[in-house]
Amino acid sequence: MARIFLTHPPDAFERYYGARALAGLAALGEVVRNPAARELTVDEIADLARDCELIVSYRQTAAGEDLFARLPNLAAFSRCAIDIRNVDVNAASRHGILVTQASAGFIASVSEWIIGAMVDLSRSMTAMATAYHQGQVPVPPMGRQLQGATLGVIGYGQIARHLCPIGVAFGMRVLVCDPFAKAEASGITQVSQEELLADSDYVVCLAVANEATENLMNDAAFARMKPGALFINASRGNLVDEAALLRVLDSAHLAGCAMDVGRAPDQMPTPALARHPKVIATPHLAGLTPQAIEHQALETVAQAAEILQGRFPKGSVNSAAATRLARVLRP
């Protein structure tokens, strides 16, 4: 019988995996669970997974040479997330271990969070609700409406392709910039990043986080934004120079910011920025809905089923180097 190690700590299991997916794994083989109420060390994972053919991992579980070298029976390392930046794929490849990632099951949920953040920033909803919770009767501020405003989206990936038509449906002028993708949908105009920043009332950052986009939003980018514009980051904290964002928030140039991500642990917003009076921050919850989480969890089950048949599943990132897969046999 195959042995599968699931790295999720108990709290992460409840929120980011779930009983249905666990039952699916258990139907494929013996599942070894993380016994601790925390992330495990490399030594602990190496010990618990020493006889396992497959690891299904939580997004915070780092995996590199120091782990892969100690697991001679491991055939595949399956990440229950789309982000695999803390997995050393080259190290896995050197040991013949397949690495897989989940697809984006959070497209709708993140898009909905962005719309909610735009409305909240525009109508001071969080600020007004907070004042009432504190026993005050706030003076209602003048708001702004989405209809007739310009939405600028940096990055035209799967979330942007879902979000932009919603903006059009709200009656917004929608601009996108992406040097690697062409926007051809009705009502959407593709422009340069400079034009987008200068013309948008709402700038939504949805670019891919990599070395080329590190600090994409810096002092120069924020300075190009329209005075009084609103900035929203629902992608990754690595895209933003946080010192630059803090400076522009302290000035009168930007009216506000919403963020679901940042450079704090687990991609959370940095507390120093989150407490700023112009900021609405949430703890990386935009993709935290049952539908989004179950999509990725069940995808790892489907991947495991393929792997245990000796096949490369959808989401494989280093198939050519995965020489150990031939050893895996379904019981």
* 129 and 92 in a common domain: no
In the prediction, which pLDDT does 140 show? 95
Per-position pLDDT tens, the chain of length 331:
899 999 999 989 988 999 999 999 999 999 999 999 899 999 999 999 999 999 999 988 999 999 999 999 999 999 999 889 899 999 999 999 999 999 988 999 999 999 999 999 999 999 999 999 999 999 999 999 999 999 999 999 999 999 999 999 999 999 999 999 999 889 999 999 999 999 999 999 999 988 899 999 999 999 999 999 999 999 999 999 999 999 999 998 999 999 999 999 888 999 999 999 999 999 999 999 999 999 999 999 999 999 999 899 999 999 999 999 877 654 4
Rounded CA-CA distance 223/217 in Å is 10
Rounded CA-CA distance 171/42 in Å is 51
Rounded CA-CA distance 107/154 in Å is 16
Longest dimension (CA), the chain: 69
In the prediction, which pLDDT does 328 show? 65
* 116 and 101 in a common domain: no
In the prediction, which pLDDT does 326 show? 79
Rounded CA-CA distance 1/237 in Å is 42
Q: Which two tokens stand for residue 69?
A: 């070298």
In the prediction, which pLDDT does 209 show? 87
Helix axes 158-169, 107-123, angle to 10 degrees: 50
* 60 and 141 in a common domain: no
CA distances from 119 to 181, 257, 275, 300, 312 (A): 28, 12, 19, 35, 43
* 224 and 313 in a common domain: no
Pick the closest to residue 97 from 127, 59, 119, 67 (CA basis): 67
95 Cβ contact list (under 8 Å, min separation 6): 68, 69, 71, 74, 324
* 119 and 99 in a common domain: no
Q: Which two tokens stand for residue 77?
A: 């390392």
Domain count, the chain: 2
3-class DSSP state of 22: helix
* 9 and 114 in a common domain: no
Among the candidates 245, 263, 281, a domain finishes at: 281
Q: Are 128 and 113 in contact (CB under 8 A)?
A: no
Neighbour count for residue 109 (Cβ, 10 Å): 20
In the prediction, which pLDDT does 205 show? 97
* 311 and 269 in a common domain: no
* 178 and 41 in a common domain: no
pTM score above 0.75: yes
In the prediction, which pLDDT does 1 show? 81
Range(s) of the domain holding residue 111:
107-281
In the prediction, which pLDDT does 297 show? 96
* 311 and 250 in a common domain: no
* CATH code assigned at 239: 3.40.50.720
Position 218: which residue type? N
Rounded CA-CA distance 95/323 in Å is 8
* 132 and 111 in a common domain: yes
Which residue carries 């105009």 as its tokens? Answer: 189
Regarding beta strands 76-79 and 98-101, do their DSSP bridges make them parallel or antiparallel, or are they unpaired?
parallel
CA distances from 170 to 113, 202, 218 (A): 15, 13, 29
* 77 and 19 in a common domain: yes
* 70 and 23 in a common domain: yes
